């Protein structure tokens, strides 16, 4: 198994290439939107964060494509101000999946 590659972009992060849980943003951030493009039938993407001042990661969001991977990509928009997250981590189900994380 391998860690995902999180590439910093002008809008946030582009995450691909690995299936192990990978911290893509250490510390606090505000997430404006998430978009997942799975490249296989029933591909999944799970995100975790650490709530408040805690130290234990909890499930934050999970995406899953339908049986046909050509279906539209699932996404969520949290509003222009975004939502607070801490130590955001992602686990992809396939090395060719793509997650876009849009920060404020």
The predicted-structure confidence for 42-54, as pLDDT tens digits, reads as follows 888 999 988 777 7
The range of the structural domain enclosing residue 83 comes to: 5-103
Q: For residues 78 and 88, is the Cβ–Cβ distance under 8 A? A: no
pTM: 0.88
Find the CATH number of the domain harbouring 67: 2.60.290
Which residue from 84, 74, 86 is spatially nearest to 32, judged by alpha carbons? 84
Using CA of residue 40, residue 45, residue 61, residue 59, what is the dihedral sign?
A: positive
pLDDT band at 1 (very low <50, low <70, confident <90, very high): low
Task: Find the length of the chain.
Answer: 104
Higher pLDDT, 65 or 73: 65
What domain count does the chain have? 1
The mean pLDDT value for 52-80 works out to 80
Q: For residues 7 and 88, is the Cβ–Cβ distance under 8 A? A: no
The mean pLDDT value for 6-33 works out to 92
Please state, rounded to an integer, the average pLDDT across all residues of the chain: 87
């Amino acid at each position: 198994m391998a860690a995902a590659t999180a590439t910093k972009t002008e809008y946030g992060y582009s995450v691909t290439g690995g299936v192990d849980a990978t911290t893509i943003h250490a510390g606090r951030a505000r997430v404006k939107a998430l978009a997942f493009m799975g490249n296989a039938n029933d591909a999944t993407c799970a995100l975790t964060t650490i709530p408040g001042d805690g130290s234990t990661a909890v499930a934050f969001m999970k995406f899953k494509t339908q049986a046909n991977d050509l279906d539209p990509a699932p996404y969520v928009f949290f509003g222009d101000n975004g939502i607070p997250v801490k130590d955001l981590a992602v686990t992809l189900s396939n090395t060719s999946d793509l997650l876009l994380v849009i920060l404020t």
